[in-house]
Each structure stands twice: as structure tokens, then as C-alpha cells.
Chains A and B, each alone.
Chain A
Amino acid sequence: MKTIKAKLRAYWTLIKSLQTGLLLITGLAAYMSARCPVTTWETLLAVTATLFLAISGSTVLNMVYDRDIDAKMKRACMRPLPSGKVSVREALLLGFLLSIAGVGGALLMSSLYGAIVFAGLFFDVIVYTVWLKRRTPYSIIIGGLAGGMPALAGRALAVGAVDPLGILLALGVLLWIPTHIMTFNLKYADDYARAGVPTFPSAYGINGTRIIITLSSVGAAIAVTLAAIGIGMSWGYLRLLVVLSGGLLALAAASMWRPSERMNHGLFKYASVYMLGSMLLLAAEAF
């Protein structure tokens, strides 16, 4: 029993539950943003399951491929694969099973939805992790593109097409991802250097990276707010979204004005709260 518990805990770590949960919420919010009559509990449950499985699957496969660089990073060396809690074969099997179940389920629901979910997985695992992550700091754009796919997929399933609002929502996530990842790159710069992973701070310096973080925060706030207006978010929720966006912009500006590691970490955390909050507001409109 203890072994099973330990194994499940290791699997839970492998799927990066917080990151997976946040991306899942973007997909659900985008799906629910289309409102009734498409939002039903049955489909909502199916969207939750398929996105969770596909995102978890791609995360596990990334972990398998990146186990060598994880072993060189202080922050990641205790993850289940480099620490030997889970074998490569086992993780690979888990990753494939989750991915196949997620993409397969999505394809059964709708070919368009399935195709976008598959595209997200392909961009994340093959293009971002295998091909670009160790070659160029610009891989973050592809990583962002993959991160925006759950939102695009959710919206496409609800409206039956890839519409401008779905693209705006995906763009919001894409632009939010540099804020999220680059603040991490700044905090753990030594780790990334040790592992030989090119990042914006190593290529363009700390100040250049801070400017990009600020600009991407501005872009994410604009994209999400425009999407909310396009969706027809009610005035009260919109006011709250503008307030949360204002907080993000103020913090991004403060991190340039008074840069520090602490400010950086605060921005990282607020950006996550912002994405969660804005997506919950989009979802709340469905009720």
C-alpha cells in the first residue's frame, strides 16, 4: 500500500499538477466562454478528462526527454526521473498512455478539437522540448504556442471552428507564458547555465529579459481583456478583469523600476493568479 502511495505521489509530481491544472482551466474557461446551449455537464466532464490526460501526457514525455538536464539542475534534480523514483520505461509508458487516451478521447468528441489537442502535444513535446529547447532561447515562443492550445481547443469545440476569440484567448496564454517562464529563468539562471539550456537572460541579459517580461505582461493583459470584451463579458466581471490586469501591469512596471529577485518571484506568482482569475471570470459568465 505504501509503495502504491509513493508511486502515485511520484506520478503526480511527473505531471506537474499546478501547471497542468492551470492549463486545464484555460481550456475549460475557453470552452465555457461560448455559454449555453453548448455547455453541458457531460461535455464539460469529457473536456476536463481529455485535456487533463493530454496535458499530463505531454508533461510526462517532456520530463522523460529532459531527465538529463533535470539531473544537472538543483531545482529539478529531485524530480522522480533523475532521482530514480520512477524508471524511464515506466514514465515513457505512462506518458504515452496518457497522451493516447487524451488525444484519442478528444478525437472521438470532435475531429477539430482532437486535431488541436494533438497539435498542442506535438508542439510541446517534439518542436519545443526535443527540437528547440536546447538550441535557442526563442523556443519559448513554441512553448507558448503549445500552452495556448488548450484554450484554442476548448473554444473550437464549443463553437465548432477556430474563431478570432479563440485565437485571442490562446494569444493571451502565449503572451503570459514568457512572464511565467522568464521570471523562472531569472531566478534559476545558474541552474539553466549548468544544464546548458539557452535562456533569454543568458542571451540578452537581465535588463533585456525584464523588458520582455513587462511587454509580454502588457500583451497578455490586452489580449485577455479584448477576448473578454469580444465574448461579451458582463460589465461587473469586466471591471474586475481590468482591475486584475492593472495589478499585473503595475507589478511588471515595478519589476523594471525596482528590479530584485523578490519582485521577480512576486511577478511570477501574481501572473499565475492573474491567469487563474481571468479564466475563472470567463468561466463564471457561463452560469
Chain B
Amino acid sequence: MKKMSGLDRIFLLITGLLAAYQIVVGVKSADALAALAYTVAFGVLLVAGLLLIIFGFEVLASPIVVVVAAIIPVWLALGLVAQYFSVLGTTALVLAIVGLLAVAVTRFGARGKLATMVLAVVHGIAGIIIFGLPIVLSLRGIAPPGFAMIGVGGALIGLGGLLLSFLKAGKPILSEETILTVLPGLLLLMTAAFVAGFAAL
């Protein structure tokens, strides 16, 4: 597996610092559930970045990575729904927990096609929400234009999730070397887009 370079570590460190910053400053006008969801998403991003720095890319070989990688988009999507459609907050929370449990159970239990399908559905729904919702909210004037940056982050997290998922499923879209080369930069750009989007509020 590819060795982590100094630049990779710097990118991951900045990613972690940006995530830490977002946790500290919070998100303006987020209620308790939304704040919790954002904290979990950025918290997992921060800890995952630190673990990548400590263990290197080898940590991606662990089957738990797929579950952990799903937590970030799912809880971010939950935060957005809870913040802008508060009546759907509890339903979204239940769906998020069920989705993550389904990913975990199929990953460690059934595996095969069912596991890939469940993962694709959970990632897909979360990805559509993170990508589409901020852009729609910005276009309709409910949120400031800069909030659409979260959609950019959503597209990047979708791309990263797709590359990693297919790699883990044994059918890589790009070579492992290429994916691991772009991953730290992709994580950094994604986090920067999220932080910029939330700062616009």
C-alpha cells in the first residue's frame, strides 16, 4: 500500500484543524439535534484524520472504515434536515440510525451484493441531501449564496465515498495508488467547502 507522504500528513492535519474549528464555532441557528449531528460528523472527520496520520493508509484496510466513512455524510445530512425541516428531525434521526445499523450489519454479516446495495442507498440518499439541499436553499433565498459551498463539499464527499467504496468492494474505478494520492487533498477540499458554507450563515 502507498506510503503516506509529508504533504499527505499536512493536508490531513489541516483537515483535522478545520474540522476542530467547525466543532468549536458550531453552526449558526442550529437546534440541539442539528448541532449534535454536525458535531458527530465533524468529530468523526477529525478523529479519522488523526488516525490516518497515526496509522497511515493501512488503516483503510479495516472493514470498520466503511461504517465510519458512512457516519460523516449521514450525520451531516441529518444536521441539514434537522436545521431546515425541524419537523422531520426525529424521523431523519431514526432513518440515519437505521441506515448506519444496516451498513454495519451487512458489512460484518451478510457482505456480498446486499452489503454493497445497502451502502449505495445510504450513501446515495445522504449524498443527494448534502449536495442538493444547500444549493436549493441558497437559490430560493432561504440561506445565503455562500451556503451552496456545502453542496460543493457534498459533491466531493460523494466522489471520495464512491472511490473508496468501489476500492473496498474490490472493483476500483481508479488504481489504489491514484485514489490514495488524491484522498488527503480531496478530504481537505471537502472540509474547507463545508466550513466555508457554514461560515456564510
A243 CB contact (under 8 Å) in B46, B54, B55, B58: B46
**Once the chains bind, are B55 and A236 in contact (CB under 8 Å)?**
no
What A residues does B42 contact at CB under 8 A?
Answer: 243
What A residues does B50 contact at CB under 8 A?
Answer: 247, 270, 273
> B34-49 toward A: CB 8 Å interface, digit per residue (1/0)?
0000010011001100
A-B contact pairs, 13 of them (CB 8 A): A235-B26, A236-B24, A239-B23, A240-B20, A240-B23, A243-B43, A243-B46, A244-B46, A244-B47, A246-B43, A247-B46, A247-B47, A262-B58
Distance in angstroms between the alpha carbons of A229 and B39 in the assembled complex: 18
Q: How many residues of A contact B (CB 8 A)?
A: 16
A239 with B47: in contact, given A266-B54, A266-B55, A269-B54 (CB under 8 Å)? no
**Once the chains bind, are B43 and A236 in contact (CB under 8 Å)?**
no
Interface residues in B1-44 by Cβ distance below 8 A to A read: 20, 23-26, 39, 42-43
**Once the chains bind, are A239 and B54 in contact (CB under 8 Å)?**
no
Q: Decide yes or no whether B51 CB sits under 8 A from chain A.
A: yes
Distance in angstroms between the alpha carbons of A157 and B42 in the assembled complex: 36
Q: How many cross-chain pairs have Cβ atoms below 8 Å apart between A and B?
A: 41
Centre residue among A240, A247, A262, A269 by max chain B CB count within 10 A: A240
B26 CB contact (under 8 Å) in A239, A243, A262: A239
What B residues does A266 contact at CB under 8 A?
Answer: 51, 54-55
Smallest Cβ-Cβ distance to A243: which chain B residue: B43
**Once the chains bind, are A236 and B51 in contact (CB under 8 Å)?**
no
**Once the chains bind, are A236 and B54 in contact (CB under 8 Å)?**
no
A240 with B47: in contact, given A262-B55, A266-B55, A270-B54 (CB under 8 Å)? no
**Once the chains bind, are B51 and A239 in contact (CB under 8 Å)?**
no
> A222-236 toward B: CB 8 Å interface, digit per residue (1/0)?
000000000000011
What B residues does A273 contact at CB under 8 A?
Answer: 50, 54
What A residues does B51 contact at CB under 8 A?
Answer: 247, 251, 266, 270
Interface residues in A200-248 by Cβ distance below 8 A to B read: 235-237, 239-240, 243-244, 246-247
What A residues does B26 contact at CB under 8 A?
Answer: 235-236, 239
Distance in angstroms between the alpha carbons of A235 and B23 in the assembled complex: 10
**Once the chains bind, are B54 and A246 in contact (CB under 8 Å)?**
no
Which residues of B come within 8 Å of A, CB atoms?
20, 23-26, 39, 42-43, 46-47, 50-51, 54-55, 58
Closest 10 CB pairs of A and B: A243-B43, A247-B47, A236-B24, A240-B23, A269-B54, A266-B54, A239-B23, A266-B55, A240-B24, A239-B39
A246 with B23: in contact, given A266-B55, A269-B54, A270-B54 (CB under 8 Å)? no
Q: Decide yes or no whether A161 CB sits under 8 A from chain B.
A: no
Q: Decide yes or no whether A78 CB sits under 8 A from chain B.
A: no
A267 to chain B, nearest CB (A): 9
Q: Decide yes or no whether A130 CB sits under 8 A from chain B.
A: no
> A268-284 toward B: CB 8 Å interface, digit per residue (1/0)?
01100100000000000
Task: Supply 16 further A-B pairs (C-beta < 8 A) apart from A236-B26, A239-B26, A266-B51.
Answer: A236-B24, A236-B25, A240-B20, A243-B39, A243-B42, A243-B46, A244-B46, A244-B47, A246-B47, A247-B46, A247-B50, A250-B47, A262-B58, A270-B50, A270-B51, A270-B54
**Once the chains bind, are A236 and B23 in contact (CB under 8 Å)?**
yes
Distance in angstroms between the alpha carbons of A250 and B23 in the assembled complex: 19
What B residues does A240 contact at CB under 8 A?
Answer: 20, 23-24
Distance in angstroms between the alpha carbons of A266 and B58 in the assembled complex: 12
Smallest Cβ-Cβ distance to B19: which chain A residue: A243
Distance in angstroms between the alpha carbons of A243 and B20 in the assembled complex: 9
A243 with B24: in contact, given A266-B54, A266-B55, A269-B54 (CB under 8 Å)? no
B104 to chain A, nearest CB (A): 14
Distance in angstroms between the alpha carbons of A37 and B47 in the assembled complex: 35
